Amino acid sequence: MMTEFKNKTAVLTGAGSGFGLECARIAATRGMNVVMVDVQQDALDKAAAEIKGMGAKTGTEVLAMRVDVSNANAMQALADAVFVRFGAPHFVFNNAGVGSGGLIWENSLADWQWVMGVNVMGVVHGVHFFTPMMLEAAKKDASYQGHIVNTASMAGLLNPPNMGVYNVSKHAVVSLTETLYQDLRLVSDQVSASVLCPFFVPTGISQSHRNRPAELQGEKPTKSQLIGQAQSDKAVGSGKVSAADVAAKVFAALEADQFYIYSHPQALATVQERLEDIVLARNPTDPFKHKPEIGAKLRAALRAE
């Protein structure tokens, strides 16, 4: 649980846009030192300039670093730089993520490397390099409070079709974070964790292929991947809950020590259905049961010659 924010330090990956940028805005407003991390230099520069302007009014500092979170050495360098500049951070937001769709057997190995590298290993690296320094700070200072938030997705609690690689990566983040929460409870009352599971929210994730490394470029997109991209663009673009709304929920969770953070609690009915499938050992429920026209359209598109 975090109750004091002024002069504390927040580390945010994926800070050039979306949830990361919105959380950086809140952190700056609350007088926190802000470490902004992103792989896209132009977005990072623009975002950092804005947060520095806010920091000038609150007296807090901003450190911006271009980092590929899938690279362990780069994340080690980030952690070292944060510690030298600010000491152990109080809030770490492992938020950087990429999206990828298509039928699961059609994803190339490059697709798997890219998505798992960013979405899973990026979070692993954040937890690996920052948790020990946070726990050490807690041992030295009884007033220290630390919190780690990892961005998963409702796709980490469900298994929507035609987006398998993304589902797998986000299920891994949910499991990792649930375990992190339990492990932290064994050793400290001062450091905790939460998992963010947003549904369709307008951010830049549907266009994340723009930052895909050249060495992990996939083959020509398959029909299912093109269909998946179009679906993602439409769903994300039409989202009614904003990234700013979600960022506010993240900070509310920090104050309440709330583990699960949802952008669309109404979507939990589908999660409940999935859990009942598991407990009752019944076959997975048709994900389009409540909107059969969408399922029919997708099946027709995929089966068309």
Q: Could you give phi then psi for residue 223, rounded to 5 degrees? A: -60, -45
Q: Give the mean pLDDT of 73-94.
A: 98
Domains of the chain: 9-265 (3.40.50.720)
Based on the number of CB atoms within 10 Å of its own CB, is 58 exposed (0-12), middle (13-18) or buried (19 or more)? middle
* Other C-beta atoms lying within 10 Å of the C-beta of residue 117: 19
Based on the number of CB atoms within 10 Å of its own CB, is 248 exposed (0-12), middle (13-18) or buried (19 or more)? middle
Residue 38: strand pairing partners: 66
Q: Give the mean pLDDT of 147-163.
A: 96
Report CA-CA distances (Å) from 219 to 106, 107, 108, 216.
Answer: 10, 9, 7, 9
% of the chain surpassing 70 pLDDT: 94
**Ordered alpha helix ranges (H), 117-267:** 122-140, 164-187, 223-237, 243-256
- Say how far apart CA 214 and CA 39 lie, in whole Å: 14
27-82 pLDDT tens trace: 999 999 999 999 999 999 999 999 999 988 888 899 999 999 999 999 999 999 99
Say what the pLDDT of residue 168 is: 98
Say what the pLDDT of residue 237 is: 67
User: Using 50, 70 and 90 to split pLDDT, how confident is the model at 209?
Assistant: low
Say what the pLDDT of residue 210 is: 63
Say what the pLDDT of residue 213 is: 76
Q: For all residues of the chain together, what is the average pLDDT?
A: 93
Going by C-alpha positions, the residue among 196, 206, 201, 205 that lies closest to residue 244 is 201
- Say how far apart CA 183 and CA 289 lie, in whole Å: 38
* Other C-beta atoms lying within 10 Å of the C-beta of residue 183: 13
Query: Is 104 a residue whose pLDDT tops 70?
Result: yes
* Other C-beta atoms lying within 10 Å of the C-beta of residue 264: 16
Residue 62: strand pairing partners: 34
In this structure, the dihedral spanned by the alpha carbons of residues 165, 124, 48 and 67, taken in order and rounded to 10 degrees, is: -80
Cα dihedral sign for 7, 9, 14, 16? positive
Query: Is 187 a residue whose pLDDT tops 70?
Result: yes
Report CA-CA distances (Å) from 253 to 1, 19, 73.
Answer: 8, 14, 31
Six token digits for residue 228? 């998946």
In this structure, the dihedral spanned by the alpha carbons of residues 218, 173, 134 and 26, taken in order and rounded to 10 degrees, is: 80
Q: Which helix (H) or strand (E) holds 29?
A: helix 18-29
- Say how far apart CA 21 and CA 44 lie, in whole Å: 9
230-259 pLDDT tens trace: 877 776 666 678 999 999 999 999 999 999
Higher pLDDT, 204 or 179: 179
- pTM of the predicted model, to two decimals? 0.93
Higher pLDDT, 231 or 13: 13
* Other C-beta atoms lying within 10 Å of the C-beta of residue 276: 11
Q: Looking at 144, 166, 181, 262, which residue is catalytic?
A: 166
Say what the pLDDT of residue 207 is: 59
User: Using 50, 70 and 90 to split pLDDT, how confident is the model at 200?
Assistant: confident
Say what the pLDDT of residue 72 is: 98
Q: Mark whether 166 is an active-site residue.
A: yes
Query: Is 204 a residue whose pLDDT tops 70?
Result: no
